[in-house]
Amino acid sequence: MARNKKQLPLLEKVTITDVAAEGKAIARVNDKVIFVPFVAPGDIVDIQITRKKSSFAEGRAVRFHEYSAERATPFCEHFGVCGGCKWQHLPYKEQLKYKHKQVIDNLTRIGKIEMEEIFPILGSERTTFYRNKLEYTFSNKKWLTEEEVKSGATFDCMNGVGFHIPGMFDKVLDINKCWLQDDISNRIRLCIKDYCLTHDGYPFYDLRNQEGFLRTLMIRTASTGELMVVVVFYHEDVERREALLSHVAEQFPEITSLLYVINEKCNDTITDQEILVFRGKDHMIEEMEGLQFKVGAKSFYQTNSEQAYNLYKIAREFAGLTGNEMVYDLYTGTGTIANFVSRQAKKVIGIEYVPEAIEDAKVNSALNKIENTLFYAGDMKDILTTDFINQHGRPDVIITDPPRAGMHDDVINTILLAEPERIVYVSCNPATQARDLSLLDVKYAVKKVQPVDMFPHTHHVENVVLLEKKK
């Protein structure tokens, strides 16, 4: 006989006190920390506990008794269900305050870092429609909201195009309007959805059973006005594929790159797939300070173009380049930072794990007639060695922008051996950045800290740190 599952408690009239990592808020009951999403400090709520551990619990707000003064009205109809933009209920100035606090807490508590100068967080001028790239998923089993389920209505059509529900690989929320990208993105998505629902032979993908026709949709916009659309199909059907893409091209003549992919794999990644051109170019051009960057369907480019420019300007300023420096740009990606600082440096060497990204970096240097850059592809800890430094010369400045996991210990040790005068550390994860800074502390002092908000209405924050060699 199955054991009865223990009923988890309902806590009444609990005050939310603070904001935690990963975008959740905190309440404290009987010395136990409770993490709750979609609430704000000052809210008084009833919390249904959903998970209980010895040191903490998780729950959801089921009733609001009093709303905090620190609240804003969420602008998106999908707030609370969609996994994105979880901080819409917080005024933007409050979001910035908590993000700045997150950076400082991580550096001081985890890294035990002493900082000479901490600048106020640089907010994003645009807090909606700021992304240059979005990816949507087609599903034949869209997610039904709690209200839809309770309504008792029957839904003849379960097709949807939108974003995955957090923690559920096969559940997709059908999106009406997304506030993250220029509204052209909404119009294109809804146009494709409408066409496929009103014409025979366009089944949306079944993620569990691995069948259907329409899989994913990627839309990229550029500051230059160029527009890329990539439609991913599960299998080839020339007649229906061409009919759909011709319709999209006709409805949206502003599309400069209309591309498609036939992806018969189990997963949705297209990095290992052939990108095929239906109409226009196979890439678009981004621009920054007169520099041009070629961006393809597979290319990495910071998703908030305007704020990326501010981020790179800060990194360049912190680097203190005079034109005579040897610069190493670690985790260079498509060489955006390397090319951006090349005019102020004697030579820039970029290193990146992804070979395709390095090819893009070389193309971008050639496109801008930059001749003082070199790029190498491979695992950072295997390439950045004492032999490599002896061959290419000791760096005066190192700029590093690692992934969320931070830098490998071997990379940190090699940096310490290289002893550049300055290190500029750009991070999307202040926690791992703090850990790395503590390891660099034996030879380097933190001079400047500049948090940057790249993703409004989320808990994510970037941080730029200047380190100088101790005398």
Strand order in the sheet with 115-118: 115-118, 444-452, 462-469, 422-427, 397-400, 326-330, 347-352, 373-377
Q: Which residues lie closer than 8 Å to 202 by C-beta, 6 or more apart?
A: 195, 196, 213, 214, 240, 244
Which residues are 352's β-sheet partners? 377
The answer to whether 344 touches 322, Cβ cutoff 8 Å, is yes
- Residue 429's nearest CA partner among 170, 103, 10 is 103
Tokens 């070199």 sit on residue: 374
State CA 5 to chain mean position distance.
38
Helices assigned H by DSSP within 58-183: 92-105, 146-150
| Burial readout 286-297 (b: 16 or more C-beta within 10 A, e: otherwise) | bebeebebbbbb
State CA 204 to chain mean position distance.
26
Tokens of 136: 């949507």
Options 82, 85, 178, 428, the catalytic residue: 428
Tokens 């230059």 sit on residue: 224
196 is annotated as an active-site residue: no
Half-sphere exposure of 221 (CA within 13 A, CB side): 19
Angle ∠(446,448,451) on CA atoms, nearest 5: 115
The answer to whether 129 touches 179, Cβ cutoff 8 Å, is yes
Rounded distance between C-alpha atoms, residue 271 and residue 98, angstroms: 35
CA–CA distances in Å: residue 221 to residues 30, 85, 145, 180, 196: 50, 20, 30, 12, 23
- As annotated, the active-site residues are 428
